[in-house]
Amino acid sequence: MPVRWNSAYEMISRFLEQQPAVCAALLSPEVRKNVTDCALTENDISSAEEMVEAFRPMLVATNIMCEEKNPTISVVAPLHAQLLRDTTSTEEDSPLVREIKGAINQDLSKRYQSEVEKDLLRMSSALDPRFKSLLFLSPEEVQDTYAKLQSKAAALKEDDPVPCGDVQGDLEEEETCTAKKRKSALVDLLGQTFKKTSYVSTSATSIAEKEIKQYQDAPSLPLTEDPLLWWKSQQHVFPLLSKLAHMHLCIPGTSVAAERVFSTAGDIISAQRSSLTPEHADQLLFLKKNMNI
């Protein structure tokens, strides 16, 4: 398929795998009557093997990004950095492999260069407990990423203060709520004079900083585990970061999921079912995509 590069990869891989059978078939007199000069040279076979080896990291990356059950936006940044390293030419590479790696590396180097894209992808990776160490970034970039996360977490705290009892085990928060009830009359009397704007800002920043520090000190999640299940179990421990994780990790990293929806719709809406109403078709599509849940 011209629009699916990995179809060419699979074709060459299958040929190399079935090469003995192909060569045996080409030795058949019946085949040789109708086909001339159909045998590949040793150089052709070596080139095919080198191509498969050079493209293998791209195939693995493509399969990872086609996932639907796990977040993909958080994988983009570490995967991009790894592919740039894997496509760096070495002295042992043949001229063909160097050409392939150079073309891939040059194209990948142009991707995700704007600050907005970098911030989104890096913060998404930081909010994924599998990649929160951000080993693919420099120490300065890691510090900058978590500083921006802290700022966003503090803004969440200021915009949506945690009500009493919302965070289990947070005794300090409960004591603050109790004190507010007892001193409501004092607030009514002197609230305008002693505004607590600066206090709230400092408190929110302090809480966000403490939460991020605790999050960074926690063990990283193995790559085989589900980060969404981890956040579900840890949302009371990290109330601010869990909200940011919900906002970031729900973003699909590719258009694969949307394209699959259209393919499924094509299976449901056919000539034999042309009387389906739009509402009924939408319900069938929803059930098909969510029946496992």
Each residue of 50-109: pLDDT tens digit? Answer: 999 999 999 999 888 887 778 889 999 999 999 999 999 988 899 999 999 999 999 999
Letter for the amino acid at 32?
A: R
Q: Which residues, 6 or more positions from 169, have their beta carbon under 8 angstroms from its beta carbon?
A: 236
SS3 137: coil
Show me where the domains of the chain are located. Answer: 1-56, 255-290
DSSP structure class, residue 197: H
Strands (E), the chain: none
Answer for the pair 134, 142: CB distance below 8 angstroms, yes or no.
Answer: yes
**Does residue 269 sit in helix, strand or coil?**
coil
Q: 């729900």: which residue's tokens?
A: 250
- Between CA 56 and CA 50 the distance in angstroms is 10
The pLDDT tens digits of the residues spanning 233-284 come to: 999 999 999 999 999 999 988 888 888 888 889 889 888 888 899 999 999 9
pLDDT at 169: 45
Residue 175 above 90 pLDDT? Answer: no
**Cα four-point dihedral sign 116, 117, 122, 127:** positive
pLDDT at 146 over 50: yes
54 touches 97 (CB < 8 A): yes
Q: Are 145 and 122 within 8 A, CB to CB?
A: yes
Confidence at 25, pLDDT banded by 50, 70, 90: confident
| End-to-end CA, the chain | 33
| Residue keyed to tokens 């966003």 | 152
